[in-house]
Amino acid sequence: MQLAVTGANGFVGRHVVTRAVRSGWTVTGVVRSEAAAGIVSAAGGRPAELTAPDVDALSRAFEGARAVVHLAQIGAERDGQTYDEVNVGLTERVLAACRRSGVPRLVFFSGLGVAHYGMKRRCTNPYFLSKLTAETGLFRSGIEGVVFRPSYVVGPGDAFLPAVLGAMAAGEVERPGDGSYRMQPIAVADAAALVLAAAAHPGHPFPTVFDLVGPEPLSYARLVERVAQAARVGGTPVAYEVREIALAEAERQARAGGYQGMLPDELDCLLCDEVGDPSPLVTLLGRPLTPLAEALASAVRAA
């Protein structure tokens, strides 16, 4: 029952480490700084601090693991990091290290738009291409791969919800376009439980690629309303106006350095209107997924 997790200090990573430790796994959390190592230790994991995660160092960190959960990736190219180096190159090194240390299975987090690369404009960008390339490397590797393609993962520690609540507290939520584009948020607790189910599955599970989506698809406009509703149920009075900004203007700002902190590929992820079928997740998990209201309430309480 040994697990290794890359990106173990990130939002999803900390939930995976905490849940795995509580479920009896011994967890090595691969990170790249002392502060991140502290987060892994606090979650009950054993940190492996690798400032240069080459194949040798990764192989040593993965030794004895039943599975590697590979979450160390980027959603946009900033601070000199590139998709080629991180999403593609690091994934290749992780796969080589799995082979060298005899780890049979890799659980990989991709992106929900990947299946529509080349079919929908907002799914056809360098971010989704890097995830598609990494997936292909996994499929060709001979390692048992389980791919989760997430919509928005919601829960304590996620970056999106506090930003919306902050805008509400300031009285105005700015919305790109009419907000009709859909998403399908999944509770981070379910995401972590699914990762462990995939890691522990006695054989190579099928399907091996899952849309990581919650039980309820909804438009972005409706999601904002549901966040407000969750805050009110939690006892926070919420009164705000929605101000629409033209999509073209949001895109212009994203290209010019960031729209509300989002670079163009990140804005695509918000606007790409991707939903999926959660039923294979329910089968893998052996129980229903957390209702959206409950997932939002938990995230609002923590924000």
Ligand X SMILES: NC(=O)c1ccc[n+]([C@@H]2O[C@H](COP(=O)([O-])OP(=O)(O)OC[C@H]3O[C@@H](n4cnc5c(N)ncnc54)[C@H](OP(=O)(O)O)[C@@H]3O)[C@@H](O)[C@H]2O)c1
Letter string b/e over residues 194-226, b meaning 16 or more CB atoms within 10 A of that residue's CB: bbbbbbbbeeebeeebbbbbbbbbbebbebbeb
Cβ proximity to ligand X: between 81 and 243 the closer is 81
Cβ proximity to ligand X: between 11 and 220 the closer is 11
Whole-angstrom Cα distance, residue 274 to residue 261?
21
**Bridge-partner residues for 172, per DSSP?**
241
CB of 96 to ligand X, least distance (A): 15
Helix (H, G, I), strand (E, B) or coil at 7: coil
CB of 85 to ligand X, least distance (A): 7
CB of 239 to ligand X, least distance (A): 28
Confirm if 293 and 234 have CB atoms less than 8 A apart.
no
CB of 234 to ligand X, least distance (A): 21
Q: Which residue's beta carbon is nearest to the bound ligand X?
A: 10
Cβ proximity to ligand X: between 123 and 171 the closer is 123
67 closest CA partner among 210, 192, 198: 198
CB of 237 to ligand X, least distance (A): 28
Residue 29 φ/ψ, nearest 5 degrees:
-105, 115
Whole-angstrom Cα distance, residue 121 to residue 273?
11
Cβ proximity to ligand X: between 148 and 259 the closer is 148
Confirm if 214 and 193 have CB atoms less than 8 A apart.
no
Cβ proximity to ligand X: between 33 and 208 the closer is 33
Cβ proximity to ligand X: between 84 and 174 the closer is 84
Q: Enumerate binding residues for ligand X (CB under 6 A).
A: 7, 9-13, 32-33, 36, 53, 71-75, 81, 86, 90, 109, 111, 150, 152-153
